[in-house]
Amino acid sequence: MRLLRRALVALSLAGVVAGALRLRGRGGTPPQHGGWQPVEFPPEQ
Amino acid sequence: MTTTAGSAVSVVGGGVVAERLRRVTANRHQLVGGDVGAGVVVLAMAGPHAATAADLVRAGAHVVSTSGSVEDVRDLLDLDDTARGTGATLVVGAAVSPGLSGLLARELVGRLAGCDELHISRHGTAGPACAREHHHALRGWAMGWRDGGWVERPAGSGRELCWFPEPVGARDCYRGELSDPMLLHRSFPQVERITARVSATRRDWFTARLPMLSPPHREGGIGALRVEARGWDSDGARVTHIVGIAELIGTAAAAVAAAFVDHVTSGTAPAGVVTTSDADLPTAFLLSAVARGGVRMQSFTGIPHTG
């Protein structure tokens, strides 16, 4: 019973930490420039 | 460039590339079953192509070969005089790597005032024969051109993380026994460094010297190609251009071969051996034909950033 209680407490704490990181974390704006861009080769003739 | 309508084309082979190529060329050319009566024969079967190609060019037929094996490509290049003698065109390495790699290298080198390095990386395979070739490429010796001479290093060495267009992304690539350096050096003798790498998982790398542990898939997943040209611009500043694709390798190989079939049937291709990086090819036209075949080419425009 004590083991189950400890597991539930650990899971709850993990959830709280994950939730805080998810809501308060600073992920920033996704990249908007650079990377791979489509390129076209207009025929010469 | 105008394409001769109704040119008789034969596609030899029963694999992924051959099947797809038949579908692509069927609406533009008259497909014939055997190679008898065909003006253009595309060799897309497993195994060496040189012996068959020799017989065909002696008979005066134009040949497009998709072979990428080093020995086979070397033997095909040796058929130049034979092909010139009969007025036949022999396109060597009309697949992805070699093939599209050469077209893209020619395009990128044209954007530079001078080029001193060319680096090719590829990921993935088409059908089972291609997978066996990939397995073979990780053993043996990898050719590379460096400072005026050929350097042979053990295939499977020289791990480098190469970034391909999404969804392939970053892959570990190793030196491989690939024919790209040989073909690119033929077209760009002034370039000081030419390398070719192939992607591999740790398991591929570890088991390269063993027989294939499991039969290859009928077709590999999304593959990729990356061509990097380094050099300088007209002001002397160092410049690097990178172009790549992420596509089913069988589809891309069929698109490249089909573009060369169109080119050969147009009647403008010279007699003798033609490789995809040749300077006198209509490279932009061929690349746009490859794009029409469903291959989306992408340019690397720098490390992604915000703002």
- How distant, in Å, are the alpha carbons of A16, A19, A20, A26, A29 from that of A23? 11, 6, 5, 9, 15
Does B87 reside within a domain? yes
Q: How far is Cα B302 from Cα A36, in angstroms, rounded to an integer?
A: 8
Is residue B4's pLDDT more than 50?
no
Is pLDDT at B7 greater than 80 in this prediction? no
The overall average pLDDT reported for chain B is 91
Distance in Å, alpha carbon of B70 to nearest chain A alpha carbon: 29
What pLDDT is recorded for position B22? Answer: 93
- Per-residue pLDDT for B40 more than 90? yes
The pLDDT tens digits of the residues spanning A29-45 come to: 666 666 899 988 776 54
Asked whether residue B111 falls in the same domain as residue B234, the answer is yes
Helix axis angle for B70-77 and B50-58, nearest 10°, is: 20
Are the Cβ atoms of A41 and B299 closer than 8 angstroms? Answer: no
**Residue B203 φ/ψ, nearest 5 degrees:** -65, -45
**Are B146 and B268 in a shared domain?**
no
CATH for B257: 3.40.50.720
Nearest by CB: A43 against B244, B288, B305: B288
Arithmetic mean of pLDDT, B15-25:
92
pLDDT at B1 over 90: no
Instruction: Give the tokens for residue B93.
Output: 């390495």
Provide the domain count of chain B.
Answer: 2
Are B224 and B181 members of one domain? yes
Query: Is B152 part of any domain?
Result: yes
Which of A29, A32, A42 is nearest residue B284 as measured by Cβ atoms? A42
- Residue of A29, A32, A36 to mutate, testing the B interface (most B Cβ within 10 Å of its Cβ): A36
Residue located via tokens 């999404």: B166
Strand pairing class (B8-12; B30-31)? parallel
Question: Is the same domain home to B104 and B232?
Answer: yes
Q: What is the pLDDT of residues B200-259, one digit of tens each?
A: 988 888 888 888 877 888 788 899 999 999 999 999 999 999 999 999 999 999 999 999
Q: Identify whether residues B44 and B104 lie together within a single domain.
A: no
Q: Which two tokens stand for residue B210?
A: 């063993």
pTM of the model: 0.87
- Mutation target to probe the B interface, by most B beta carbons within 10 A, among A26, A33, A37, A41 is A41
- Within this chain, do residues B79 and B110 fall inside the same structural domain, yes or no? no
In whole angstroms, give the CA distance from residue B144 to residue B110. Answer: 22
Cβ-Cβ contacts under 8 Å, A40 against chain B: 288, 291, 297
Q: What confidence tens digit (pLDDT) does each residue in B102-141 have?
A: 999 999 999 999 999 999 999 998 888 888 888 888 988 9
Range of the domain at B90: 8-94+253-281
pLDDT digits (tens, 9 = 90+) for B70-87: 999 999 999 999 999 999
CB count in 10 Å sphere of residue B22:
18
Q: Which residues of A touch B303 (CB under 8 A)?
A: 34-35
Q: Are residues B111 and B208 in the same domain?
A: yes
Residues B62 and B156 in one domain: no
> Where is pLDDT greater, at B207 or B283?
B283
Alpha carbon separation from B279 to B92, B290, B297 (Å, rounded): 15, 18, 20
